[in-house]
Amino acid sequence: MTVPRPILFLDVDGPLNPWRADQERIERAGYRTLAMRPTGWEPPAPALLVRLDPRHGPLLLGLGFRLVWATTWKADANTWIAPVLGLPDLPYVEWPPLGRDDGEEVHWKTRRLVEVAAGRPFAWVDDEISAHDRDWVALHHAGRALLHRVDPAVGLRPGDFGALRQWAAGPAADGGRRGG
Ligand SMILES: [Mg+2]
């Protein structure tokens, strides 16, 4: 029996673009700094300097997930980010309008990602995940979930890819033991 691959919800700024990193250090580590001008932002974005490591695309494709953009870049991630990393066009999450403040500390992406996952196993890689999000997902998502925070001063590292690969290979069809 073929078990469907889990979803990997992928943020751009933080995990792939370590916007808080020291410039010299990140370029020594193999990142390229590129000027980008995404068109789909409201209000329109100024030219952005984005740091990307082209080795990350093949690594992501080899993890055993179905990759889905989970970023404010939305379709712009396919235009600007995917080609640098060698990724194909990926589906992306559409976000509800912002502005709701219901006094909780759950991230604004969290509810939407659980809705899109619709009970299927998923991992989420983002620099803004907190314990509030883990608690909320544990309560509202029936399948396995891994909420994996990446430091925006560092970006994705070998240990992150290892953790994701291991989780993706884990129990997917055993009754939904919760991971992560
Ligand atoms: Mg981010």
Could you report the per-residue pLDDT of 54-108, keeping only the tens digit for each?
Answer: 999 999 999 999 999 999 999 999 999 999 999 999 999 999 887 555 557 999 9
Residue 16, phi-psi category: left (phi > 0), alpha (psi -120 to 50), beta (remainder): alpha
Question: What is the residue range of 128's domain?
Answer: 7-168
Query: Which of 160, 155, 153 has the alpha carbon at shortest distance from 180?
Result: 160
CATH number assigned to the domain comprising residue 101: 3.40.50
Residue 15 in any domain: the answer is yes
Q: How many CB atoms lie within 10 A of CB 43?
A: 5
Note whether residue 152 is domain-resident.
yes
CA of 130 from ligand 1 middle (Å) equals: 12
Which residues are in the CB-under-5-Å shell of ion ligand 1? Answer: 11, 13-14, 127
**Could you say which DSSP state residue 98 is in?**
S
Give how far Cα 16 sits from Cα of 99, 111, 126, 151, 161, Å: 26, 22, 9, 10, 12
Domain count, the chain: 1
Question: pLDDT tens-digit profile of 126-176?
Answer: 999 999 999 999 999 999 999 999 999 999 999 999 999 999 998 754 444
What's the rounded Cα separation, in Å, for the pair 43 and 13? 18
The answer to whether residue 178 sits within a structural domain is no
151 to 39, 127, 155, 160: CA distances (angstroms): 27, 6, 6, 11
Taking the centre of ligand 1 as the mean of its atom positions, its distance from the CA of residue 109, in whole angstroms, is 10
- Report the pLDDT value the prediction gives residue 67, as an integer from 0 to 100: 98
pLDDT of residue 138: 97
Q: Is residue 68 part of a domain?
A: yes
In a domain, 2, yes or no: no
The alpha carbon of 94 and the centre of ligand 1 are apart by a number of angstroms equal to: 16
Q: What is the arithmetic mean of pLDDT over 2-8?
A: 88
Strand partners for 52? 32
Q: Is residue 119 part of a domain?
A: yes
Residue 175 lies in a domain: no
- Ligand 1 centroid from CA 93, angstroms: 14
pLDDT over 70 at 17, yes or no:
yes
Instruction: State the pLDDT at residue 29.
Output: 94
d(CA 116, CA 4): 16
Strand, coil or helix: 24: helix
Residue-level pLDDT at 41 = 74
Decide which of 102 and 177 is more confident.
102
Q: What number is the average pLDDT over the span 28-34?
A: 96
- Is this structure's pTM higher than 0.85? yes
Give the residue-averaged pLDDT of 24-45: 88
Give the mean pLDDT of 15-44. Answer: 91
* 14 domain-assigned: yes
